[in-house]
Amino acid sequence: MARKRNQKKGNKKTFGARDDTRAKRSWSELIKENEKWETYYKTLNIIPEEEWARFKETCQSPLPLTFRVTGSRKHAHEVLKLFQEKHLPNLTNVEFEGQILKPPMELPWYPNHLAWQLDVPKTVIRKNEQFAKTQRYLVVENAVGNISRQEAVSMIPPIVLEVEPHHTVLDMCAAPGSKTAQLIEALHKDTDEPTGFVVANDADAKRSHMLVHQLKRLNSANLMVVNHDAQFFPRIKLHTDAEKKKEMLKFDRILCDVPCSGDGTMRKNVNVWKDWNTQGGLGLHTVQLNILNRGLNLLKSGGRLVYSTCSMNPIENEAVVAEALRKWGSKIKLVNCDDKLVGLVRSKGISNWPVLDRNMAVKNKGDEGTIESWFPPTEEEREIFHLDSCIRVYPHQQNTGGFFITVFEKIEDEVEQAKRLANELEESSPTPSAKKLKTENGAAAEVQQEPVKKERLPRDANEEPFVFVDPNHESLKVCWDFYGIDSKFDKTTCLVRNATGEPTRTVYTVCPTLRDIIQANDDRLKIIYSGVKLFVAQRSDIECSWRIQSESLPIMKHHMKSPRIVNANLDMLKELLIESFPTFEDVEAKHLDDEFVKKMHDLSSGCAFVEIERGEDKESLFLPVWKGAKCVNLMVSKEDTHELLYRIYGIETTAKDNSKIQKKQVATGTAESTETVDSKETSTDA
């Protein structure tokens, strides 16, 4: 969600559990009642009277656990199949304290059966053996980016945005990043090297860095994280070329998941119950409208924009949409999604609503202190706007949070668009508006939003620059030759993040389009993160002092033709996953893969790669290893090791280390494959 809130960090004992212990206690201590909230929504009459009791009761209960499998990964079907075959049967007809628990349920509207819901309390997940095993499975798969914990309704906006691999995409209010992750997955659908990219923005610097942590798991060179107020998001130059410098980036797809009062999240954010009042929506309305209008300005003709909130309040939803339709007229239209998301229970958008102030008094258009755009459209406008094309999802309809989604399409003529942009000041800003902030006691306060400043703020002392490295730099030339990297890989996309511009410890790579944007917009974009690690410095006493980082292998494996890529069988991989630095002598004695041992032994010391073919219906593996003078070691993280052991060999692990005797038992087959062991903590990618 885009709603801003304070959180404290702590240990997560359950997959997806909240890390605010006070919030956990509040579920039992706080009375989940709010008279103004109940009066307001009964006055709106958006929930049928016969459904009200169930609606309120659902809002008062905790959310179920929901997750989705990363659809862009080639092994997504394996991860899903493992859950369906190894876990789902054991979670069906489970009895806990005398009650039969609900089995996991597939979200019917999510594509390709990849999203699931576990409607059981977290206490059950911790205490029941079968659910605890599933919990461990989810934790490991989440750590390596194969699945994501995400609220069900939060999955809807990226789906209806319909991102394709060639699209330029902007997520205007991206933190904490679950929807952004979906956008990146869609971009990488069917390709490791899409031509499009995602720009993920958040106004809060701390949340921007949290966004990076969430998205790094996906290892995409087609992502850039920036830190700007979405109301004033800057225009982005496409080129450094002086003749083309006036060409500005227009996005094919834009997600405006705007800050909101958040009463759709009251099932997990208990403070909404005590803090909610009508002023929250009234105060945020103009900010939301400014963000939407800025998004529509940045949208390409023929492009699609999704406006969404985690609020059920029409002042933040249909009122914002209606005002955008007034402003833009025939240049935009709403997209009806009735034929999308088959299986999703939803309600249509509304065209009439009362406006109530903080004292719950009804206000009329023209009253002192009101804004015209708060009020519902006229009869004539209703016929034109088609606000029933908006999507409303209420908590009781399928045991979710509350959400609002609207899909816009821009149909402005390109010539007309160019003319308008020529007259638009580059640093134009929306009318200063009231922006809602949190005071120390948690109450809502309003401050006047200052106009955007024209001069660029000086770079923060802790803010590292993005400096591109000459592909003919001696350090890079050694890497191109050593790893046999072909000419199809764009070698001008390598960058470092230090003021000297010299490759010292780490070299990153970005997609070619982002390279141009980073170079052309140093004076206007506050870039927090972009690129994946390509080369990392290692020992200097060997032939190549750089190793290829595992997070860039999805790209680089398509561009390497080198004897340093050695085929191995599954027995050999299992040995490498379980044993730390096995010697060639020991491996050779086991006769697991004599050809692998011979080829690997003949290589010079340094980074190399192991490729494992697993059959036509399964993804082949491409993993980095360290080849020493007398031994070889698989260079993947502990989390990746655990995931591979379980997915490929059915070996369960724990977070704690166990003795090497157990590891050797599993390796030699003297222990059951389902016995709990813990793999070595292999060399990690720093």
pLDDT of residue 122: 76
Contact 620, 612 (CB under 8 A): yes
- Spatial neighbors of 289 by CB under 8 A, at least 6 apart, are 320, 323, 324, 373
pLDDT of residue 447: 34
Least confident of 98-107, 114-123, 358-367, 440-449: 440-449
Q: Given a cut of 90, is residue 421 above it in pLDDT? A: no
pLDDT band at 415 (very low <50, low <70, confident <90, very high): low
Catalytic residue among 310, 337, 494, 607: 310
3-state helix, strand, coil in the chain (%, to 5): 35, 20, 45
Contact 67, 116 (CB under 8 A): yes
pLDDT of residue 657: 43
Q: Given a cut of 70, is residue 52 above it in pLDDT? A: yes
Q: Given a cut of 50, is residue 664 above it in pLDDT? A: no
Q: Given a cut of 60, is residue 675 above it in pLDDT? A: no
pLDDT band at 651 (very low <50, low <70, confident <90, very high): very high
Whose structure tokens read 């059950």?
124
Higher-confidence residue of 332 and 19: namely 332
Higher-confidence residue of 423 and 302: namely 302
How many angstroms separate the Cα of 238 from the Cα of each of 19, 68, 242, 417, 514?
41, 35, 11, 17, 9
Confirm or deny that 181 is annotated as ligand binding: no
Higher-confidence residue of 245 and 365: namely 365
- Spatial neighbors of 178 by CB under 8 A, at least 6 apart, are 148, 149, 150, 151, 154, 155, 214
Give the mean pLDDT of 212-222.
Answer: 93
Q: How many CB atoms lie within 10 A of CB 179?
A: 26
pLDDT of residue 14: 41
Confirm or deny that 433 is annotated as ligand binding: no
Q: Which residues of 294-330 are buried (b: 16+ CB within 10 A; e: fewer)?
A: bbbbbbbbebbbbbbbbbbbbbbbbbbbbbbbeebee
Higher-confidence residue of 390 and 123: namely 390
Higher-confidence residue of 615 and 257: namely 257
pLDDT of residue 623: 96
pLDDT of residue 190: 87
Six token digits for residue 645: 């052991």
Confirm or deny that 179 is annotated as ligand binding: yes
Least confident of 98-112, 230-244, 247-261, 668-682: 668-682
* pLDDT tens profile 619-646: 899 999 999 999 999 999 999 999 999 9
Q: Given a cut of 50, is residue 556 above it in pLDDT? A: yes
Q: Given a cut of 50, is residue 294 above it in pLDDT? A: yes
Cα of 226 vs its chain's centroid, Å: 14
Q: Could you give the percent of the chain with pLDDT greater than 90?
A: 72
Please state, rounded to an integer, the average pLDDT across all residues of the chain.
86
pLDDT band at 464 (very low <50, low <70, confident <90, very high): confident
Higher-confidence residue of 132 and 349: namely 349
Confirm or deny that 174 is annotated as ligand binding: yes
* pLDDT tens profile 125-157: 878 888 888 989 999 999 999 999 999 999 999
Confirm or deny that 173 is annotated as ligand binding: yes
Q: Which pTM value belongs to this model?
A: 0.87
Q: Could you give the percent of the chain with pLDDT greater than 70?
A: 83
Give the mean pLDDT of 197-222.
Answer: 94
Contact 492, 509 (CB under 8 A): no
Contact 333, 380 (CB under 8 A): no
First to last CA, the chain: 31
Higher-confidence residue of 670 and 75: namely 75
Least confident of 46-60, 332-346, 661-675: 661-675
pLDDT band at 442 (very low <50, low <70, confident <90, very high): very low
Six token digits for residue 549: 């980082």
pLDDT of residue 615: 80
pLDDT of residue 661: 32
Where along the chain do its domains lie? 21-151, 154-351+379-422, 467-554, 563-668
Ranges 84-88, 333-337, 436-440, most confident: 333-337
Residue 494 annotated in active site: no
Confirm or deny that 422 is annotated as ligand binding: no
* pLDDT tens profile 562-586: 999 999 999 999 999 999 999 999 9
Higher-confidence residue of 125 and 302: namely 302
Contact 65, 16 (CB under 8 A): yes
Strand pairing category for 621-627 and 606-612: antiparallel
Least confident of 168-182, 204-218, 237-251, 400-414: 237-251
Confirm or deny that 589 is annotated as ligand binding: no
φ and ψ of 659, to 5 deg: -70, 155
pLDDT band at 444 (very low <50, low <70, confident <90, very high): very low
Confirm or deny that 631 is annotated as ligand binding: no
Give the mean pLDDT of 437-464.
Answer: 42
Q: Given a cut of 60, is residue 269 above it in pLDDT? A: yes
Candidates 128, 150, 126, 106; CA nearest to 16 is: 150
Confirm or deny that 657 is annotated as ligand binding: no
pLDDT of residue 427: 42
Six token digits for residue 408: 């816009």
pLDDT band at 73 (very low <50, low <70, confident <90, very high): confident
Higher-confidence residue of 515 and 7: namely 515
pLDDT of residue 429: 44
Q: What's the rounded Cα separation, in Å, for the pair 230 and 296?
A: 12
Amino acid at 543: E
pLDDT of residue 439: 32
Which CATH number applies to 154-351+379-422? Answer: 3.40.50.150
Candidates 405, 153, 428, 393; CA nearest to 290 is: 428
Candidates 206, 159, 208; CA nearest to 186 is: 159
Q: Given a cut of 90, is residue 352 above it in pLDDT? A: yes
Give the mean pLDDT of 338-354.
Answer: 97
Higher-confidence residue of 23 and 476: namely 476
Six token digits for residue 573: 């991989």
Q: Given a cut of 70, is residue 340 above it in pLDDT? A: yes
Give the mean pLDDT of 487-496.
Answer: 97
Q: Report the alpha-carbon angle 30-31-37, nearest 5.
A: 120
Confirm or deny that 443 is annotated as ligand binding: no
- Spatial neighbors of 151 by CB under 8 A, at least 6 apart, are 1, 63, 66, 178, 268, 400, 401
Q: What's the rounded Cα separation, in Å, for the pair 212 and 594?
A: 42
Q: Counting beta carbons within 10 angstroms of the beta carbon of residue 192, is it exposed (0 to 12), middle (13 to 18) or buried (19 or more)? A: middle
pLDDT band at 336 (very low <50, low <70, confident <90, very high): very high
